[in-house]
């Protein structure tokens, strides 16, 4: 396996040149060799993986000669479905859901039926213009990212010669990190005092003590608690898919989201209290399910036994949906 200039392994099919660029090599099923250079190692890995996926699916391999672009009659709809299912299938479920929502609600009506090769900056700009009156800046940003990521993948895989969003921007204001207000310790204590006695008190307090995302907290199971070491391991998430009316397990948002957290005294005491009451709480038949998901680190199937969930809704005996916390807050 090739190594970079610092002696660290780059991965199969990737090496770092003396000028610092990362070079990826790929041989398709027809025996044709392809290679491409990038400034950053993750870009090389993404290109290589996407090229292999397309080759396995009978696509055009890693690159297509520019004179052959006109022969592609794939529509944007068809490319989006291939891209969302095969190329970004390992993204967090929420991210993929956001991509699909933005495509269906904002992008599809404008360019969905167009041949992928015919999309121009003016079409992408038209999408944003039509959103201007009805959507906030954050939705603009999500749409912009969804389009940009989808078309960048098409360029990387030789489906189109250049990115159709080059030069396309948006001016809708988006909330920046400086606009986000973080609670002080005193404000957190006031919030918890107000929430005391509510049915979500333990969940609110536990998130403040551990920093878990809501989906990570909903999907927390007892086997992830080490009572002796007083730690909590994050290795999965759980969410309710409203459209499919089903619960779905998944991996944490990124590889670095897998982590083991030392428990504060308050977090530890909360888990002790919840554990002591778990035999007496209402439990819905929904908890009889065992959900399968793919571990982002190994690529292997893992399971979430819903009967082992730490936090469930006291009234229904089911896991609490993300939206129920928003409503309660």
User: So what's the pLDDT on residue 175?
Assistant: 57
Q: How confident is the model at residue 170 (pLDDT cuts 50, 70, 90)?
A: confident
Q: What's the confidence (pLDDT) of residue 314?
A: 86
pTM, two decimals, is 0.59
Residue with the two structure tokens 């990124």:
254
Average pLDDT, the chain: 84
Per-residue confidence (pLDDT) for residue 58, from 0 to 100: 55
Task: Give the pair of three-digit tokens for residue 303.
Answer: 């399971």
Residue 51, φ and ψ in degrees, nearest 5 = -65, -40
The pLDDT, as a whole number, for residue 274 is: 95
Give residues with Cβ within 8 angstroms of 253, minimum separation 6.
Answer: 92, 94, 95, 213, 237
Task: Write the burial class of residue 157 (CB in 10 Å: 0-12 exposed, 13-18 middle, 19+ buried).
Answer: buried
- Residue 102 in contact with residue 143, Cβ under 8 Å? yes
Q: Does residue 159 register a pLDDT over 50?
A: yes
246-250 and 259-262 beta bridge pairing: unpaired
307 vs 42, more confident: 307
Contacts 24+ apart (CB under 8 A), 264-269: 264/209, 264/210, 266/205, 266/209, 267/205, 267/206, 267/209, 267/210, 267/232, 268/230
Residue 290: the pLDDT is: 95
Domain 67-180, CATH number (from 1.10.150.130, 1.20.210.10, 3.30.420.40, 1.10.287.610): 1.10.150.130
Q: Which pLDDT does position 57 carry in this prediction?
A: 55
Q: What is the pLDDT of residue 71?
A: 38
pLDDT at 72 over 70: no
* The pLDDT value given to residue 132: 85
Instruction: Work out the average pLDDT over 35-41.
Output: 77
Q: What is the mean pLDDT of residues 278-284?
A: 89
The mean pLDDT of 300-320, rounded to a whole number, is 92
What ranges do the domains of the chain cover? 1-63, 67-180, 186-328
Does the domain formed by 1-63 have CATH 3.40.50? Answer: no
Can you tell me the mean pLDDT for 192-215? Answer: 93
Note the pLDDT of residue 294.
Answer: 86
Contact status, residue 121 vs residue 165, Cβ threshold 8 Å: yes
**Strand (E) or helix (H) holding 326:** helix 322-328
* Angle value at C-alpha 24, between 23 and 25, nearest 5 degrees: 120
- State phi, psi for 12 to the nearest 5 degrees: -60, 130
């Amino acid at each position: 396996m090739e190594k970079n200039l610092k002696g660290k392994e780059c991965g199969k099919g990737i090496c770092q040149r003396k000028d610092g660029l990362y070079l990826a090599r790929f041989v398709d099923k027809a025996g044709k060799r392809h290679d491409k250079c990038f400034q950053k190692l993750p870009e090389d890995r993404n290109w290589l993986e996407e090229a292999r996926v397309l080759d396995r699916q009978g696509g055009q391999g890693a690159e297509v000669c520019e004179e052959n672009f006109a022969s592609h009659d794939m529509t944007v709809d068809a490319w989006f479905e291939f891209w969302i299912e095969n190329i970004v299938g390992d993204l967090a479920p929420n991210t993929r859901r956001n991509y699909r929502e933005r495509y269906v609600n904002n992008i599809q009506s404008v360019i969905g039926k167009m041949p992928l090769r015919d999309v121009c900056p003016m079409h992408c700009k038209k999408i944003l213009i039509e959103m201007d009156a009805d959507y906030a800046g954050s939705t603009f940003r999500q749409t912009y990212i969804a389009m940009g990521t989808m078309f960048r993948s098409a360029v990387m895989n030789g489906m189109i010669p250049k990115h159709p969003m080059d030069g396309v921007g948006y001016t809708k204001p988006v909330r920046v990190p400086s606009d986000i207000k973080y609670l002080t310790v005193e404000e957190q204590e006031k919030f918890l005092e107000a929430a005391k006695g509510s049915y979500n008190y333990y969940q609110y307090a536990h998130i403040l003590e551990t920093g878990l995302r809501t989906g990570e907290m909903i999907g927390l199971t007892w086997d992830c608690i080490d009572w002796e070491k007083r730690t909590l391991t994050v290795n999965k998430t759980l969410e309710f898919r409203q459209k499919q009316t089903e619960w779905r397990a998944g991996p944490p948002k990124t590889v670095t989201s897998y982590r083991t957290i030392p428990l504060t005294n308050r977090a530890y005491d909360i888990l002790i209290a919840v554990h002591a009451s778990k035999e007496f709480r209402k439990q819905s038949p929904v908890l009889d399910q065992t959900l399968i998901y793919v571990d982002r680190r190994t690529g292997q199937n893992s399971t979430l036994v819903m009967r082992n969930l730490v936090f469930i809704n006291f009234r229904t005996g089911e896991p609490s949906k993300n939206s129920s916390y928003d409503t309660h807050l």
